[in-house]
Amino acid sequence: MTIENTDSQRRRRPRPPRPKGRRLSSVLRQLAADQSRERISIGDLFQTMGDRAISALMLIFALPNAFPTPPGTSAVLGAPLVFLAVQLTFGLKPWLPKTIAARSMRREDFESIVGRIHRWLAWAERMLQPRLAIFAEPPAEYLAGLSCLLLSIVLVLPVPLGNILPAITISVFAFGILGRDGLFSLVGFLMTAVSLVVAGGVIYGLVKTGIYLIMQWFA
Q: What is the pLDDT of residues 42-77, one digit of tens each?
A: 788 878 876 667 888 888 888 877 776 555 556 666
Which residues make Cβ contacts (< 8 Å) with residue 83, sequence separation at least 6? 96, 97, 100
Structure confidence at residue 9 (pLDDT): 43
Which residues make Cβ contacts (< 8 Å) with residue 39, sequence separation at least 6? 104, 105, 106, 107
Structure confidence at residue 7 (pLDDT): 44
Which one-letter DSSP state was computed for residue 128?
A: -
Which one-letter DSSP state was computed for residue 63?
A: G
Q: Is 79 helix (H, G, I), strand (E, B) or coil?
A: helix
Among residues 21, 84, 14, the alpha carbon closest in space to that of 56 is found at 84
Structure confidence at residue 17 (pLDDT): 41
- Provide φ and ψ at 208, rounded to 5°: -65, -40
- Beta-bridge mates of residue 181: 131
Structure confidence at residue 121 (pLDDT): 80
Cis preceding-peptide flag for 139 (omega within 30 of 0)? yes
CA distance 174 to 56: 7
Structure confidence at residue 145 (pLDDT): 93
Residue ranges of the chain with per-residue pLDDT less than 70: 1-22, 50-52, 68-77, 159-162, 206, 219
